[in-house]
Homo-oligomer: A and B are copies of this chain.
Amino acid sequence: MLSIGKLSAATGVKVPTIRYYEEIGLLPEAERSAGNQRLYGVMAQERLAFIRHSRDLGFSLDDIRELLSLSDRPDMSCAAADVIATRQLVSIKDRIMRLQSLQQELERMLTQCAQGTISDCKVIEALSNHECCLHTHHGEV
């Protein structure tokens, strides 16, 4: 059995984050030692690694909750898991496109700036009026 600190070292998930995952029900309540400290077995470690990896791939905790409950039902069709992963892929592609348009806009601003004073700085000017944008970009990135 691992203490929370060892589990943290083993999975790369910080100690308060592990407690947080337990609090929101993503991890089951841990066993406790005689002195009330959390103890983890192999199952918990695997589950946490799953969460960690999914987070690395950008899944939301809600998505992960669903993926975890799917992984607990091995006989089910994996279509639902594919839906979640595909949704995530679409959202990542979308964010990449948005970010690329922002990148272009920023590069344009910076190449036009002649390093003079604020009054003729193209960066500040470009921020002041959206009209001079080549692209429209709205919503979060």
Contact = CB atoms under 8 A, between A and B. Distances in A.
Interface of A: 12, 46, 49-50, 52-54, 56-58, 67, 70-71, 73-79, 81-82, 85-86, 88-89, 92-93, 95-96, 99-100, 102-103, 105-107, 109-110, 113, 115-121, 123-124, 127-130, 133, 137-138, 141
Contact of A70 (B52, B100, B124): B124
Copies of this protein in the assembly total: 2
A74 B118 contact: yes
Contacts of A53: 127-130, 133
Nearest to A54: B127
A-side interface mostly = helix
28 contacts: A49-B128, A49-B129, A49-B130, A53-B127, A56-B137, A57-B106, A57-B127, A70-B118, A70-B124, A71-B124, A73-B118, A75-B117, A76-B118, A77-B115, A78-B117, A78-B123, A81-B113, A81-B121, A82-B113, A82-B115, A82-B123, A85-B109, A86-B110, A92-B99, A92-B103, A92-B141, A96-B99, A96-B103
